[in-house]
Every structure is written in structure tokens, then in C-alpha cells.
Chain A
Amino acid sequence: MQQQQQQQPVHHHQDHEGCSLAPPKKGNEEESCSAGAEETQPDCTSTTTTNNNTNTTTTTTRSKDRRDRQIIKGEPPRPQCTSTTDSVVVPGLECIHDFITEQEEQALIACLTGPHAPWAPAQCNFSKTGNVKRRVQHYGYVFDYETANVLRDRSGKDGEKAWCPPLPCLPEEYEGCTDDELSCFIQDAVTNANGWYVLAGIIERVRRYKFVMTSSQHPASTTSRMVLHQQSYRFLNQMTVNEYKPGEGIGSHIDTHSAFGDGIMSLSLGAGCVMNFKKHTLGQHNEEEKEELKTKLVYLPARSLLLMSGPARYTWSHQIVTRMTDCVCGKIIPRNTRLSLTLRTAIELPSPTNNNNGNNDEPCSCTYAKPLPAITSNKFPPTKWGDDACAVSHEISSSSLGVGDFATPDTEKNHVHAVYDAIATQWHHTRGKRGVLWPRATRFLKELPKGSIVADVGCGDGKYFPAVWEAGSYVIGTDISEPLLQTCIGSCIAADSNNVAGAGAGPETRMISHLKFGLNDRPAVAVADCMQIPLRSNSCDAAICIAVMHHLSTFARRIRCLQELSRIVKRGGLINVQAWALEQEQNSRRKFSGTDVFVPFHAQPKYLARNAVVSSMAGEQEQDKKNVAQMYSDAYEGAEYNEEKGLVVFQRYCHMYKKGELEELVAHICSLEIVDGGFECGNHFVILRVI
């Protein structure tokens, strides 16, 4: 049964310039304008037997049948898709499999969903029923969902709404490079985990690709296709990134004729999905034509590039049905989060003399309109939406860093500070008490002269304090998170002669000798930002800064932190800095596919302060699981509730350091010299001396 018949007719945006086809209905790229979508709120559990009764004696044939075919109650029917190869049956449609490698895919996903990803602010949808819900990014030119058109004037009257980051392009020295040079560039970028460079390289690869245009008189038989010509789309100047979570789709539409020229390409990242195509013509049709007008289903695998040109771009609508699974060649494939990267050529408004009178079967003359100028940049990461900060410059001299530059960026506010505040208790319980101390850091502290005053910048729950105390020194800790600092108080256990467990005093066990007990009850800590360490200059004998630098999101901030460390330590004093390494050890569970990433932290609700609120709210009414998830993500902005595991997942921003990167940073500071450096347990470290 074709579900498509129940849907609303295709929406084609009425252009004032007169190339309308079907009478205008609702908007163009709305999130879920198909009637089916409204009714379907599928159960989030994607396992097979959700609502079917499990009592075998009363199992009906129908429910058993549904179970066998993995049908989820409430989902739209799932027609068979048989097109998984190049033998697409829509004229002008080409699907190129494995356009990018898995590594390239990972690198692209890492930067497009990473901390520097410039997600657009919520936009109103075309029919003004609400906001477009799925997350989108625009580069080059904004695509405005409300008017279903491109915002051409980036500066003037459209103002902020028309601003978006430039389209990533290659560095100057690669302009006009050969295809081989481009391949090398992309390969290097992948190896160095430079996601944005990979993106710039892939966009260029799409630009240069020679699509083979064939006739499609006998769609079922590939041998009868004739090669007509080759076509490249060199003037691509607009990119929209869409994130489709499982169950999300996009309503049936044709991209506005007057907004974009011929040749629209879509790269699928992370997952595949089935796309529906339907030709729209007016008037009567004979049997043969009706057959041709039936909806065509095409499966777009991950890493494939889809080209819509000619009729596929101008006459056929496309759609992704909102449901949780697809059926491809008899196999049920669950939907996973898919990123689509759509590349288009935004064009100038066609002049009135350019119109044809809307002949259905040919593209109208706006295909011949001029492309808008390309707005590109090879500086990364791209500046965020509406945010001027973030430009990375490697020529900053120490004196040019004004104090005022160090207000906390949003990325760190939301994905470092807020996270540690929320998870403080669990952090302390699981990392602190049974904490792993990096051996080099512990050795550093042991080797300090007795009676040293040590600053622990970013001390967290104070897990290095016992090591300092046992070495006969005094530590003053600072951290940005007050909740985390509060867990320092009384966190150690006294090792006394009655201690049956056998483990003596020592930093690893968090047990300290009785002599130091006063220190444990009242550790010397202050809430402070490492950008402005509240200690007087040249006062400390030594400092440690462990697992802090990887939470600083800009070059300037990393330099500033090192400068502050240098300022508070007296001349001749030593500093130990440690941060996460991009290169993890062989057997590590961790794999980082970019230099700036989100590292999840799975929090048990019982440790979360706002859990009490959420639990009581959930208990009051018969809320289903989906609403609990919503409550957690409301209580903790940016966190998601993983129902399966019953955990709240926070995303921590981390910048992973390449080998030598810490040393490079230190080189900018003339008052610091490097005494030692190395790698241990997934971290890079340096030992510095103040000179």
C-alpha cells in the first residue's frame, strides 16, 4: 500500500517571477508537512515487540505477522525500496556510492557536530505553524525557511538574519591545484584530524566531480542508457547541513526554482535513508504515464552523493518520510542519525525577460541566471552564528592579549563549567575517591622541596592534595566549579593504626596520616577562573595544572592560562601541565576523530541535584519515558537522557593536543622554559621552569 497517496500534494513555492507550476500550497522545506507525520509519534523503543501482547495463547495471526515484519505500531507503512544502485529511475538523478571514505566521513561528522559547529538559530517554518525543529547549519548564504528562499543580501536590510559563516574553501596555496594535490591535501587533513580542512577538500571534490549525464528512456535496463555529456557544478556557493535524528524527515518539496540553479548535491553522513521521488504534472495521463508517475523510492547509503539535476531537480519532488525504519530489498534498516550536507548554487533573481511560461517538462529559464558571488573562507573554525570571537591567530604576541579578551566563551560555559557543576558529586565519587593520579604528576609533587607552596590550578575535587601534603608541602587549589570544590572538604580518610584494610597513607588511597588531618577537613581552595588566578605574583614555589588546558577552547585562552601560571610562580619554580592527547594508546576505548570534540559523560541520575525535581515530577503523573527524557534535558540544558541505560549524558568540550602542541604554546611565553615533556596514560605533559 502506498502511503504517499494519503499525503498532501507537493508544495511548490510560488515565485513572483512567474515560474510556478502547481498551485501554491504550504511551504517548501518544512520539517514534517506530510499528513502522515502528524499522527505518527512512534514509540522510541525500536525493538520489535512493543505493543503487541506477549501472551502466546491469545496472539493473533495479525499481530504475530506484524511482529515478524518488525512493524512498529503507529508508524506509517513501510514500502519496499529496491533501488540501491546507480540504476535510478528518475531522470537527472544520480547516486554515487562511497563518494567519501569512512575516515573522511568520521572527520566531517566530528567537525559538523563538534563544539565549533555553527548551528543556526531556530527559524520559523513556511506555514508559520512553528519553528523548524531539526538542527541546521548554513554556509555561504542563509536559506530562509519562512520565505523558502535564499537571503541574498548578507549585509543590509536582512541584517543578522542573513548572516552565516562563509563556505569552507582551500588554503590559498591550494587554489587551482591538481586533482592529485587535492587528494593529498584531504588525506593529510584526515591524518591530522583537521575536520574543517577535510570539509573544504570534500566540497572542492564535489565541485570538480564530472557527473555522467545519461538518457533514461528505459529506466529498468541500464544497458540502454546513453551517455549524453559530462557535467560539473563548479559554482556551488551554498551549503546547508541538516541533522536528521531517527524518526525525523522532511516534507515533500521541490527546491525553489529562483533560489538555486541546476545541480543540487546531497552527501549522506552517518547513516543512510530512503528518499521518495514523485513527478508532478498537470492534466490527464494514460496508463503508461501513470506508471511513470508512481513514487520512486531510492535508498541513499551513508557516504553516498546524490545529484538532482534537470527533471530531478525541477520537476520531481523529494521527501524523507518520518518513520523509524526503512525497508530496502527486503531488509529492515533502522534509521540512525544522519547528517545531510547539501551543496547548491544560489543564483541572482532572474530578470523578468527570462521566464518561460512554466512548461512542466523543461527547467525554466532561471537555470541560466547568474550564480551569486561565492562567500568563502579558509580560516577555521568558522565564526559562530552572530558571534565575532573564535578566530584563531597564531601570531599573537604576549603583550597584545588584553585582559578583557577572557570572558568565558559559551562553549565552555555550557560544555565545561555547567557540566562539572552538575556532575560534581559523581565525579568525586568515581574519579576522586578511587582516583587515578597520573604518575608523572605525583612524582613531580613528591620531588618538590619540603615546605613548598604549591598552586593547583583547576584542582577539581582536590585529588592531588594528599600527594602534596604527604610530601610536606602546602597546596592552594582553585577551580571554576564551586560544587566540585565543595567535594574536597573532608574527602580523605585518615590512615591510622587500626586501619584493617592494610593500605597505608599515600596519595593513591586518599588516606593521609593523622598529622595532616586538619588540612583535609579544610583544604585551602578558592573558586576562580584560570584566566585570572587570584594569587599574588611570584608567590608560589610550584604549580600544577592537570586536565585543564584541554577544556580551553581558544589559542588565546591557552596562552593566557600558561601566562598566569608563570606569573604566580616565583623565578626558578616549576610548573607541571598535563592535557589529553589526540593520539590515544592502542588499546584505548577512546577514539577521537577531531581535535575539538565533545566527550560524553554518563551521569547517574541519583547523583544529580536536579534529579529530585525530575523524579517527583515524573511520579505525579503517568508520564511515559519520552517525557522523562524531556525533563532531564530541560533541567540540564544540553544534556540528553539515555533511556536504555537510564543515564543523563553530558557533552564535555575537549581540545585534544597533538604531540608537541603544548611545547609550541610554551614557546610563545618568554618567561617559561621547558625542562621535561612526554606522554603517559593518554596525556601529553610538560614540566616548565620560570626564568
Chain B
Amino acid sequence: MRLLTHNYLQSNVKGTEKGYPLTIEPTKIEYEESPIDMEFVENILTKIDYSALLSARNQIEDRCHSDLGSDFIVPSLPEVMPKRYSDGNSKDDKIEEDETNQEAFLKSIHTILFDIHVLEGHLVCPDTGRRFNIKMGIPNMILHEDEI
């Protein structure tokens, strides 16, 4: 499960006020570098929930260190997304960003969204504490009969 996918997942357990975002408790993580599609990443930024991405990134950091070696560094992300992306494809920059910062940011986003894979672990509903299992990178979101 990528963090991009996680950004969309929510819990629908009965009685949940808001089953999003799910807390990640990873027990096995892999990293696989993939080619960056800059345009795609820029586009995606307008659709994701940035604060959920931030929390997710922090939740997996420890596991990344143990599974991927101490050499691996999970890119850090600013607390707030650069304005040009949060306004949705607005190219009229109020604040001038310099090119390298922009590119670095997009690369970080790409790595975090696409290249880190939670293969095993749990997703936890922030409201009810219900745990959803992840196996072979596939989260199991099926609810029991008393939860629907």
C-alpha cells in the first residue's frame, strides 16, 4: 500500500463520525524507486489531503529506518504545502519559489507518495480504534456484520 492510496482510504464502521485519516502501524515496509512523472505529481498535489499525508509520513518513519536501513532517509515535508499547489494549478505565483526548491519538493512528494510500500501492518480508525489488516500490501477493509 502506497501512501497515495492511504490518502484516500477511510473507515466506514458504524458510529464513526469521521474514519479518516487512518493511522498506519506498519510492520513491514519496502522501498522501490520509480521514475518521476513531474506533471503527474503536480496534478496529484491538488487532490490529496496534505495534512493526512504529513501524519502518514511521520507514522512510517520509524519502520523505514528499521526495514530500509539507517542510510535510508524519509524525505521531510513542510508543514504547509507551497501555495502554488494548494491553490490548485495556479501558476500566478504570489510568492516566488525558486526552481530547485520546487523540484526538491516534488521529488520528496513523489518518493513519499509512490515509492514507499507498506506490505504488512494495520490501519487504525481514528474514531473507533478498529484495526484493519494489511497483507501483501493489500489492506482488508471488509466490515463485520455488526459494524455495518
Contacts and interface: CB of A to CB of B under 8 A. Distances in A.
Given A403-B148, A529-B142, A534 B10 contact: yes
B142 A450 contact: no
Interface string B10-25: 1110100000100000
Nearest to B134: A526
B137 A450 contact: no
Contacts, number: 91
B117 A522 contact: yes
Contact of B2 (A486, A522, A528): A522
Contacts of B35: 515, 518
B8 interface: yes
B4 A486 contact: no
Interface stretch (A51-59, A251-259, A323-331, A474-482): A474-482
Contacts of B43: 450-451
Interface in A386-433: 403-404, 406-407
A453 B8 contact: yes
B34 to A, nearest CB: 4
A275 interface: no
A531 interface: yes
Contacts of A529: 142-143
A524 B148 contact: no
Contacts of B8: 453, 476, 535-536, 539-540
Nearest to A479: B138
B137 A534 contact: no
B143 to A, nearest CB: 6
Given A486-B136, A515-B37, A451 B141 contact: no
B136 to A, nearest CB: 6
Interface string A477-494: 010101001100100000
B90 interface: no
Interface in B94-148: 114-115, 117, 136-143, 145, 148
Contact of A482 (B12, B138, B145): B138
A532 B143 contact: yes
Interface string B24-52: 00000000101101011001100101000
B1 A524 contact: yes
A521 interface: yes
Contact of B20 (A476, A518, A536, A541): A536
Contacts of A482: 138, 140
A526 B139 contact: yes
B5 interface: yes
The interface residues of chain A, by DSSP majority, are classed as mixed
B9 interface: yes
A482 B4 CA distance: 21
A239 interface: no
A484 to B, nearest CB: 11
Given A515-B35, A522-B117, A524-B4, A534 B12 contact: yes
Interface centre among A472, A480, A486, A518 (most CB of B within 10 A): A518
A404 B141 contact: no
Contacts of A403: 14, 148
B59 to A, nearest CB: 18
A518 B30 CA distance: 13
Contacts of A521: 32
B138 A486 contact: yes
Contact of B142 (A451, A489, A515, A528): A528
Contact of A526 (B40, B114, B138, B148): B138
B14 A489 contact: no
A524 B6 CA distance: 9
A527 B37 contact: no
Nearest to B10: A536
A158 B25 CA distance: 54
A486 B139 CA distance: 11
A451 B40 contact: yes
A423 B148 CA distance: 27
A485 B138 contact: yes
Contacts of B49: 536
A234 B138 CA distance: 61
A529, A534, A535, A541 — which one has the most chain B CB atoms within 10 A of its CB? A534
Contacts of B140: 482, 526-527
A404 B138 contact: no
A525 interface: yes
Contacts of B9: 526, 534-536
A532 B11 CA distance: 9
A390 B2 CA distance: 40
A540 B7 CA distance: 11
Contact of B47 (A453, A478, A524, A532): A453
A535 to B, nearest CB: 5
Contact of B10 (A450, A485, A535, A541): A535
A528 B145 contact: no
Nearest to A521: B32
Given A518-B114, A522-B117, A527 B10 contact: no
Contacts of B1: 524, 526
B97 to A, nearest CB: 21
B12 A532 contact: yes
B14 A524 contact: no
Nearest to A568: B8
Given A407-B148, A522-B137, A524-B4, A539 B47 contact: yes
Interface in A516-563: 517-518, 521-522, 524-529, 531-536, 539-541
A451 B89 CA distance: 13
A536 B136 CA distance: 23
A527 B142 contact: yes
Nearest to B115: A518
B36 to A, nearest CB: 10
Given A522-B2, A522-B32, 4 more contacts: A404-B14, A450-B43, A486-B138, A539-B47
14 contacts: A403-B14, A404-B14, A450-B40, A453-B47, A478-B141, A486-B138, A517-B34, A518-B35, A522-B137, A527-B140, A531-B148, A532-B143, A535-B8, A536-B9
